[in-house]
Amino acid sequence: MSVPFLYALVGIGLFCLGLHALIVHDHLLRKILAINVMGSGVFLVLVALARRGGDSPPDPVPHAMVITGIVVAISATALALSLMLKVKAATGRAELADKDGG
């Protein structure tokens, strides 16, 4: 198994861990962190698979994608955090109420 492939597998692992955490945890901060872990997993896959074996230099396009992706992730996280604070202020809990909408 090559090293880039190992990194890609770790990326998939992070993605799955994040997905699991997103589903099982109730607290919104944990959900937001879980989304971020998933995002890091995808970025790791992108960067790892950019090296196509041998001595050839890595493909720069996925790196550019990751940089753009990080910008998107930061804005999404900022929006999510401020929304979480608003939910906390309105309902007293940083959790989503169950189906009936609380």
Number of residues that bind other proteins (CB under 8 A): 33
**What does the chain come to in residues?**
102
d(CA 64, CA 67): 5
From residue 11 to residue 30, the character string flagging contacts with other proteins as x (rule: CB under 8 A) and all else as - is: ----x---x--x-----x--
d(CA 29, CA 95): 9
Among 9, 10, 49, 63, the residue binding other proteins under the rule CB under 8 A is 49
d(CA 98, CA 88): 15
CA atoms 38, 42, 47, 53: torsion sign: positive
From residue 73 to residue 102, the character string flagging contacts with other proteins as x (rule: CB under 8 A) and all else as - is: --xx--xx--xx-xx--xx----xx---xx
Q: What are the residues binding other proteins (CB under 8 A)? A: 15, 19, 22, 28, 31, 35, 38-39, 41-42, 45-46, 49, 61-62, 65, 68-69, 72, 75-76, 79-80, 83-84, 86-87, 90-91, 96-97, 101-102
